[in-house]
A and B are shown apart, each in its own frame.
Chain A
Amino acid sequence: MGAVIELDNVSTIYEGERIPSLHNITLSIDEGEFVAVIGPNGAGKTTLLETINGLLPATSGTVRVFGKNVKTHGLEIRKKIGYVIQNFEIDSLTPFLSKDVVMMGRTGRIGLLRFPNQRDWERVFSNMQLLGIEGFKDRAVGKLSGGEFQKVLIARALTQEPDVLLLDEPFANLDVSSRKRVSDLLTTLNIERSLTMVFVSHDINAIPEACTRTIVLDQGRIVCQGELETVLSSSIVQQLWQRGKKHD
């Protein structure tokens, strides 16, 4: 079991900015790991995920996924990385049906000049079923609630049948029972298919129990990592969340 994701001294600076949003990150994630990344708002969690899949080019350092440099093999690598984007406000008139949006996850995987076949649609519907959204398959995504749309985004990423799954605050809009459902689903995928996962959250309480490692990010740096228990009891983390509470 080799490293699937390797970051070597990576810094990422947004265009037009001066301060790096990621600072000299060195990190290696093995196949089958379930990594949780936590940190306050603006810590650089989203930036980290998008640096891994190459949507944001690393300003310095190298990012390798599946042993290949993301800078040169980005397109090919992204076909095998699922990305559940941080929930966004969707225009209520968006003219795409839920099932079509879920199918879009498979676009790169199916490949150019090919059309979705029966098997592809079966994947779509079985994943929608797993998330309990099969009833919305013919609804326009713009008409869904935040939580329902969130589930569509998760189903979309699963339908890609990725080897690595990046999740950005996937629980943000979910109620307690939906959280449990998604959390169980992720755990099953991790254990049964040894799917490598990076799970981002600003909420310490949202971390699924199956997580094998927790990384704490603050101001673009990794400040602490290890098993969840150890991390939570570290003084740095307690300070961070203490600070957060005062701001609230």
Chain B
Amino acid sequence: MIELPLILLITALLGSILAGLSCSTIGVFVVRMNLVSIGYCMSHAAFAGAAFGLLINVDPMFGAIVFSIATALFLGPLSEKAKLESNVVIGFLFSIMIAFAFIFLNMIPGNAATGAALSILWGSIFMINLNDLFLLVLLSFVMLLFFILFYKELTAMLFHRKLAEASGVNTKMFFFAILFFVGFTVSVSLKLVGGLLVFALIVNPTSTAYQLFFDFKKISLASPFIGVVSCLLGFLVSLEWNLPIGAAIVVVSSLIFAFSILFSPKRKKGKKPLFS
């Protein structure tokens, strides 16, 4: 177990909890609305943006936000159109973003940046400061408020976007709001979890919740809960065995997901149908 100053420990602990909360809340939308590939692309854009931030000496989080929101603005309209086309673009953009990220990291002069650069790659509890913590609090609060105030519109849209539009919901506005939340969430969680793994924290807890429940209300409560638990356990594992925190969190949340598949009521009882 590593010895840490208390203030750092508490900052990191709160950071983990809030990152878990915000990632797994937005995950509910990402998984249900099939935004996994566009979100994946945005999280890698955030990674490239963070690397670029380090390169030009601004806060990596700022670079991450700019890059991921720009990606959302570009991919959002595209994904509203023909499916095939947008998937091709997403695949292309995803690889180019990783390439950029590595180029930027490589261009950072000297050794001083290496620690920071590596932590962007796989996350670190040492990178997270009070500023980040404040942003995480703000983001979690705004997102929960958004979720509660527009619960009725959001669920209608998650059930069936066209039907929601047909009963007078401005689905385009909500769609973009969700993409922006994805962008902000991956950006502020990136320092902690790392650019390569942050998206797993969005998808894993939610996928677990979708395995366990048929009622959307329960899913939207369970997902943040599982997200927070994953992050807390990941945090402890990372301290105990001196592992990168992002990797620890992702391993924990993946294990929880694996267990949920084993015990899922959706897979129990009755035989699997012949065709499905």
Contacts and interface: CB of A to CB of B under 8 A. Distances in A.
Interface of A: 15-16, 53, 55, 75-76, 78-83, 85, 92-97, 100-101, 103-110, 112-113, 115-116, 140-143, 156, 160
A168 to B, nearest CB: 11
A95 B81 contact: no
A113 B159 contact: no
Contacts of B81: 15
A106 B168 CA distance: 9
Contacts of A140: 214-215
Interface in B217-259: 217, 219
Given A15-B81, A95-B216, A115-B152, A104 B210 contact: no
A100 B167 contact: no
Contacts of B214: 93, 95, 97, 140, 142-143
B169 interface: yes
Contacts of A75: 168, 170
Given A16-B82, A100-B155, A107-B156, A93 B210 contact: yes
A97 B215 contact: yes
Given A107-B169, A108-B169, A112-B150, A94 B159 contact: yes
A115 to B, nearest CB: 7
Given A15-B81, A95-B215, A95-B219, A53 B166 contact: yes
Contact of A83 (B167, B170, B215): B167
Contacts of A142: 214
Nearest to B266: A93
B170 A110 contact: no
Contacts of A106: 167
Q: Is the interface of B mostly helix, strand, loop or mixed?
A: helix
27 contacts: A15-B81, A15-B82, A55-B162, A76-B168, A78-B166, A78-B167, A80-B168, A93-B210, A93-B266, A95-B32, A95-B214, A95-B219, A96-B216, A100-B159, A101-B159, A104-B155, A104-B159, A105-B167, A107-B167, A108-B168, A108-B169, A109-B168, A112-B150, A115-B151, A115-B152, A142-B214, A156-B163
B159 A83 contact: no
A36 B159 CA distance: 29
The 10 closest A-B pairs by CB, nearest first: A108-B168, A79-B168, A140-B214, A104-B156, A83-B166, A78-B168, A107-B156, A108-B167, A95-B216, A96-B159
B149 interface: yes
Interface string B141-163: 00000000111110110111011
Contacts of A16: 82
B108 interface: no
A208 to B, nearest CB: 22
Nearest to A139: B214
Nearest to B159: A96
Contacts of A115: 151-152
